[in-house]
Structure 1
Amino acid sequence: MVTIDRRAKYIAQLEEKWQSLTIKDDTMFGMVMENQDICLELLQRVLPELNIQSIRRLETQKEASGPLSARTVRFDVFVRDQQQRTFVIEMQVANRHNLPYRLRYYQHQIDFDILNVGDSYQKLAEYPTYVIMFCDFDYFQRGQVEYCFENRSVKDDGLSLHDGRKIIVFNAKATDFHDNIKVEGFLKLMNNQVDQRDELVKRIDHEMRRIKEDPRRRHGFMKYELDLMDARADGKAEGLKQGKVEGLKQGKAKGLKQGKEEGISATIQALRNINAHRDQIIEQLIQIYELTPERAQAYYDKYTVK
């Protein structure tokens, strides 16, 4: 149970957190990208060769609709342009050391949104896909601003698979932007550096200020975070309750272990009940129960109802 004093203190902390949100935070990034003009210009800077003219579809926190038994994915930003090209834009702050596999799965999930039962594989030719990852770290440790990948022959560099898939990974820790000056300002903004010479950066900075002054946005953020706190508290309380009962029956050590298991299960279900997505739940498990990312993922898979 969350006491009144603790809740009041947490609300004060949330106020501070709301005001300190930056473009690196998923919440703020998604809200800024809801501005189609800003999202369009960012895409135009990332992929100038595509001559993207307009956005036909834009969703933030879009849940990919794969098979029921598949792992759920939510894309930070999902965009489709006037030529049916699909763009997934992600903000990645923590290095989980699994980026290539995450990207592989993302590409797979995007196709579920395109290909329906009975469709020919040829339909995919009309829907090129691009995954753009803005990372607050240099995953590949090469010092490059941009890492670009597509499927090519390992024996003949000039032979492309032409499967319509492309992955771009940006490194916000890079320092040499001579070939990527169009995204320099945005990457520096990820490090809280506002380049007043960059019109896009100025618009994003203004949009973030506008969002923080919007009472509706603030209320939505506060409510969601408070719901998370209540779900965490409910999960831990259930776990302690179950642990005490089990402890009386089978001994303290086993009871504590059982209590932890029950607590983790209850926490996962409570967070799912408020529609928290997978990565958020895993992050909460890591913080509450001091788990490694691998153990938290294993518990999520174990206690998630398929």
Structure 2
Amino acid sequence: MKSKKETVKELEQTNWFGLSSRDSFTIMKGELLCMARKCKSYEELELSDDFMFAKVMQNKALCKELLELIMGFPIADIVYLEEQKTLDVAANAKSVRMDVYAADENQTIYDIEMQTGKKKHLPKRSRYYQGIIDIDETDKGIEYQSLNKSYVIFICTFDPFDAGRHIYSFENRCIQDLNLELGDGTGKIFLSAVGRQNDVSAEMKAFLEYLSKKTIETDFVHRLDREVQRVRDNQKWRKEYMQRQSDWIEDREEAKEEGKLELLNQYVSGMKAKNISETEIKNNLMDIFALPEEEADNLLQGGKEQ
């Protein structure tokens, strides 16, 4: 029987996708993990999945057209500030990966996010994203009084405010006089793919229905759907997706193991504080928690599982 090391080496040298054997192995590993964890395979990705959305939006013409549809005014040109831009506010702060991070000819910045599954605190997330855009700007040497106008846009497969609208647009205004704008140059827009009101254009409604019902009714939606198919055929992006899924799953498993180890250490400390004998603690670790004897001894000695 082959050892695990020999089996992995053989798989790494196998080429199923017309790529290098290492790339083929990465894809195969990711697909097996996805099957085991019931996450989407690469072929199942749709425009409503953030990875697919980010790749489709690399088509500049489609990205510009979608922005024009959302904003309601023509845009001469857009520049990608970075593909799936990752912003770090500080070394100990949570990083944010933006699906689409672009600017138009007037230097107005747009962060477009695809949002599936009803997430809590979405308005607070929009505030956080707007804040880190400003920090990214000032880190580049821009003075606060010269900050560019920016919009954070969430395209949701659900209704974020349960009011039946297709679009919710927010800006800062005076509560006592709604005609008085603050003029801070920020805006937040939430789109709902399940809106019921007659509050958007037919073109916008067709786009949102494509997300929710997969219907293709306009030329723009047809071109989006063709781009989705093109992305699915891209083996380089397939590998990137599978690698990302593998890393995510492995990080979760590692976090679960670390959490389990912390609980076991707390259990041992608690038992020792109650003057329970090490023999009884060890037996409990082996019988109740199904730990091998070596790991039980290691925990009793105050060490860490390897």
The alignment's TM-score, normalised by the length of structure 1, stands at: 0.71
RMSD: 3.2
1:290-301 to 2 correspondence within 5 Å?
A: none
Q: 1: CA distance between counterparts of 2:137 and 2:265?
A: 50
Q: Structure 1, residues 84-133: CA drift from partner, whole Å, max 9, x if none?
A: 10000011112222111111111111111212487532212xx1101111
Choose which of 178, 181, 184 in structure 2 pairs with 1:160: 181
Distance 1:142 1:219, change over 3 A: same
1:36-47 to 2 correspondence within 5 Å?
A: 36-47=60-71
Asked if the contact 2:34–2:41 (Cα under 8 Å) also holds between the matched residues in 1, the reply is no
Q: 2: CA distance between counterparts of 1:132 and 1:180?
A: 18
Where does residue 19 of structure 1 map in the other structure? 43
SS at match of 2:61: helix
The structure number with the bigger radius of gyration is 2
Q: 1: CA distance between counterparts of 2:96 and 2:236?
A: 27
2:69 maps to amino acid: R
1:208 aligned to 2:228?
yes
Choose which of 154, 158, 166 in structure 2 pairs with 1:137: 158
Q: 2: CA distance between counterparts of 1:116 and 1:227?
A: 30
2:153 maps to amino acid: I
1:209-228 to 2 correspondence within 5 Å?
A: 209-228=229-248
Instruction: Provide structure 1 residue ranges, at least 5 long, that are not aligned to the other structure.
Output: 260-306
Q: Report the identity percentage.
A: 31
1:85 aligned to 2:105?
no
1:34 aligned to 2:55?
no
Q: 1: CA distance between counterparts of 2:166 and 2:95?
A: 30
1:1-306 to 2 correspondence within 5 Å?
A: 9-10=32-33, 17-49=41-73, 51-116=74-139, 119-124=142-147, 127-177=148-198, 179-196=200-217, 198-237=218-257, 250=271, 251=281
2:106 maps to amino acid: Q
Asked if the contact 1:115–1:123 (Cα under 8 Å) also holds between the matched residues in 2, the reply is no
Q: Structure 1, residues 33-79: CA drift from partner, whole Å, max 9, x if none?
A: 11111111100111123x21111224332122423344322212111
Higher alpha-carbon deviation: 235-244 or 115-124: 235-244
Q: 2: CA distance between counterparts of 1:154 and 1:242?
A: 49
SS at match of 2:41: helix
Asked if the contact 2:101–2:111 (Cα under 8 Å) also holds between the matched residues in 1, the reply is yes
SS at match of 2:180: coil
Distance 1:70 1:9, change over 3 A: closer
Asked if the contact 1:46–1:182 (Cα under 8 Å) also holds between the matched residues in 2, the reply is no
Q: 2: CA distance between counterparts of 1:181 and 1:221?
A: 33
Instruction: Provide structure 2 residue ranges, at least 5 long, that are not aligned to the other structure.
Output: 9-27, 272-280, 290-294, 296-306
The alignment's TM-score, normalised by the length of structure 2, stands at: 0.71
2:118 maps to amino acid: N
Q: Structure 1, residues 202-230: CA drift from partner, whole Å, max 9, x if none?
A: 11100111111122221222232233334
Asked if the contact 2:167–2:199 (Cα under 8 Å) also holds between the matched residues in 1, the reply is no
Q: 2: CA distance between counterparts of 1:39 and 1:60?
A: 12
Asked if the contact 1:28–1:208 (Cα under 8 Å) also holds between the matched residues in 2, the reply is yes
Q: Structure 1, residues 252-304: CA drift from partner, whole Å, max 9, x if none?
A: 59x97xx9xxxxxxxxxxxxxxxxxxxxxxxxxxxxxxxxxxxxxxxxxxxxx
Q: 2: CA distance between counterparts of 1:118 and 1:32?
A: 31
Where does residue 13 of structure 2 map in the other structure? none
Q: 1: CA distance between counterparts of 2:177 and 2:248?
A: 51
